[in-house]
Chains A and B, each alone.
Chain A
Amino acid sequence: MEKQKLSFKVNNDEYEVYIHPKTLLVEVIRDHLGFTGTKRGCETVSCGACTVNVNGASVKSCSVLAIQCEGMEVTTVEGLEKNGKLSPIQKSFLDHGSYQCGFCTPGMLMSASAFIAEAKDPTKDQIKESIEGNVCRCTGYNSIVRAIEAVTQGKYKEE
């Protein structure tokens, strides 16, 4: 099957890759571009470890054809830091101990950052709902919810 060209932006850089149309977004991100922060978990749209943001909206990259992202802007966990400084949500995760094994963390951070970008003074329940698509088997979620809450309360500023 012939390869096709995919032009899109990942973490603010332009990329052109030649891929089979069946290639999944997670495969392009990890195997073609080398952004291995994004994890492959269940590969059945269940666990959320592969979450990246496409045009600002979170998606599960194990279940998106990469070719459908032509012309779009993808952000992975590597794209959250600015000028070598961690983003507010990353700093907050560190301070609140919001991870143990760390496998779900990149996906959690992407869901959380998409939520924080549009949430106005959210309730605790809304924060919990914002990570409904991400499974964590270590923390019990409370430390993650506290970390997101701290950012939405303005306790962390962009550096």
Chain B
Amino acid sequence: MINDFHYLKPASLKEALAMYAEHDDCKVICGGQSLLIVMRQGMVTPEYLLDIKHVKELSYIKFEEKDGLRIGAATTHREIEKSDIIEKKYPVLVAMEEKLASIQTRNWGTIGGNIAHADPAGDPGPVLIALNAEIKFGNSSGETTVPLDEFFVDYFETKMEHGDLALEIHVPTPEPKFGCAYQKFNLLDSDMGIVAAAASVTLNADGTCKAARIVLGNAGPIPLRVTKAEDLLKGKKLDDALFAEAGKIASEDCEPVADIHASEEHRRHVLGVLTKRMLKKAFEQAQKAA
């Protein structure tokens, strides 16, 4: 049973920020596909609920070659999945969305809500971090932009304080010779990942590795970057042995918990395998890329 709350429906972003600043015990709802579940369980019982689903200023997908991709926080998963420009420029994002929960959830749930909820098993976090994304959030007195890999603090906790709304995800234009891949391990397509791995690779003109990112999903309190493995790859001519080595590091440099779905040992093993495979996939894409 959901506890009673006062419903706040702002007409604009400005009004939303003002309302949020005014009300202390207030939670923000957009699609509510994560929030309503924990509210029903009585784990979240706010006195006020601020609804930003209809704030039009927060719902957009913009792309410019120089600037990259900007997605408003209230954009639904389905809008991202169906976007032609995202399919063309960031196919990994579309592939990730296609496996995120079910069509019904993607139709109503939003990218900003998913990121702000900060569930370490969420799909967009690892992929967006692998794509070097940053997030803009703001309150009634100003805006802040941080790289997404500095945004998550702990389980369901982010850098946002009371009064802060997630505003925009910014994904830079990929460099030349860039590839990015993501896969989660689960039993049903529409489930959350038992574990997941995203990897991106940028190559130099001579074919050596210019930069790499490895981000693990549901392998700790936040989407985890495996910087030790990233550093191993930098400057090297990449091959299967290096990918296997990076996978081994990933399986060691994570903190997965055991639960009904899988033991810690099994999770570490799968994280290693996924890391190896995603690096190879990203590398092959980078080789083919212009």
Interface residues of A (CB under 8 A from B): 1, 4, 20-22, 24, 43-45, 48, 51, 54, 57-60, 63-65, 67-68, 70, 111, 114, 129-130, 132-134
Contacts and interface: CB of A to CB of B under 8 A. Distances in A.
Interface of B: 2-7, 9, 29, 32-33, 36-37, 40, 49, 51, 53-54, 78, 98, 101-105, 107-108, 189-190
Contact of B102 (A21, A65, A114, A132): A132
Contacts of A114: 103
Nearest to A53: B107
A26 B249 CA distance: 48
Given A68-B53, A133-B190, A60 B36 contact: no
A133 B105 contact: yes
Judged by DSSP, the binding face of A is: mixed
Contacts, number: 82
Contacts of B78: 57
A1 B4 contact: yes
B102 A133 contact: yes
A124 to B, nearest CB: 15
B108 A59 contact: yes
B102 A48 contact: yes
B108 A64 contact: yes
A97 to B, nearest CB: 24
A68 B36 CA distance: 13
A22 B7 CA distance: 8
B94 to A, nearest CB: 13
Nearest to A2: B6
A59 B107 contact: yes
A59 B78 CA distance: 11
A14 B23 CA distance: 34
A45 B3 CA distance: 19
B191 to A, nearest CB: 9
Nearest to B107: A57
A58 B109 CA distance: 12
A4 B8 CA distance: 11
A20 B104 CA distance: 24
A132 B97 CA distance: 14
A45 B104 CA distance: 9
Given A44-B37, A58-B103, A133-B103, A20 B4 contact: yes
Given A57-B108, A68-B32, 8 more contacts: A45-B105, A58-B103, A63-B32, A67-B7, A67-B51, A68-B53, A132-B102, A134-B102
